[in-house]
Amino acid sequence: QAQAPLRGHKVVITAGGTLERIDPVRYISNDSTGKMGFALAKAAQQLGAEVVLIAANTSLPSPAGVQMIRLESAQEMYEAVQEHWSNTGILIMAAAVADYRPKKAADRKIKKAGDTLTLELVKNIDILETMGQQKSSQFMIGFAAETDDLEQYAMDKLKRKNCDLLIANDVTREGAGFGTDTNIVHIYDRNGLVEAMPMMSKDQLGLYILELAAQRLEEYKS
Ligand code: PMT
């Protein structure tokens, strides 16, 4: 039990930045590489969980012993999360999900024409918020990438999206956030700050977060 506190639990983790098509060769995306989500997946697997890793737009290799789902868009990610939802024990949304997508993805490459081109965007579903509304026994961990007022935005997201933990990275700090092998985060729960973490590798942080989740799950049961 000590080495495998998540045995018998299914952990679903999202990673990467969703890719929203403009046409067959162009898209809108963001700087997420998937490193944080993949580190979490490896940690969950090490702690004995059954792991489903749902990744958008990343070239990272699939971690051993993990069920891998590769896809592109926020809508596809939402459907994959839904499909696994009924027996999910822990959901961790480390993906950077695009808030908007082009209203229409063109079937053919858009040709160069006038001096300006207007793209109309429509809102994507908020996956974490939607799952938060459907939550029964699932333990939910959200992420937040912020540039200012970390605590206020983090607590607002945690409550609005009905999360059990929220991991906030200040993406203005060197060694934190998108693309780096390290991260610097503050961890929040419903009562506020749980811990302000020093800079650590995403692998170490992944293990810390999963151990904390395992401990909290144990407390809920008792
Ligand atoms: O992949 P890396 O290069 O390692 O970078 C890691 C990271 C910086 C991407 C990661 O640590 C991180 O912070 N991920 C969340 C980034 C983000 O988009 O945060 P947000 O504040 O936009 O969203 C808040 C939460 O809601 C997130 O858990 C997000 O997955 C979720 N969300 C957001 C929008 C949406 N439509 N659906 C969602 O589920």
What is the per-residue pLDDT across 45-67, written as a single tens digit (0 to 9) for each?
Answer: 999 999 999 999 999 999 999 99
Neighbours of 104 (CB within 10 A): 12
CA dist 169 and 15 (Å) reads: 15
Strands 165-170 and 185-189, bridge-based pairing: antiparallel
Residues 6 or more apart from 55 whose CB is under 8 A from it? 14, 15, 16, 34, 37, 38, 68, 69, 70, 71, 95
Is 101 touching ligand 1 by the criterion CB < 6 Å?
A: no
Residue 71 lies in a domain: yes
Closest residue by Cα to residue 144 from 156, 135, 131: 156
Question: What pLDDT is recorded for position 2?
Answer: 61
Residue 113 lies in a domain: no
- Which domain range does residue 173 map to? 10-98+119-221
Q: Is 157 annotated as a binding residue?
A: yes
How many domains is the chain built from?
1
pTM above 0.95, yes or no: yes
Residue 110 lies in a domain: no
Tell me which residue has its CA closest to atom 18 in ligand 1.
96
**Atom of ligand 1 at shortest range from CA of 168:** 13
Q: Is 30 a catalytic residue?
A: yes
Whether ipTM tops 0.95, in short, is yes
CATH classification at residue 216: 3.40.50.10300
Residue 179 lies in a domain: yes
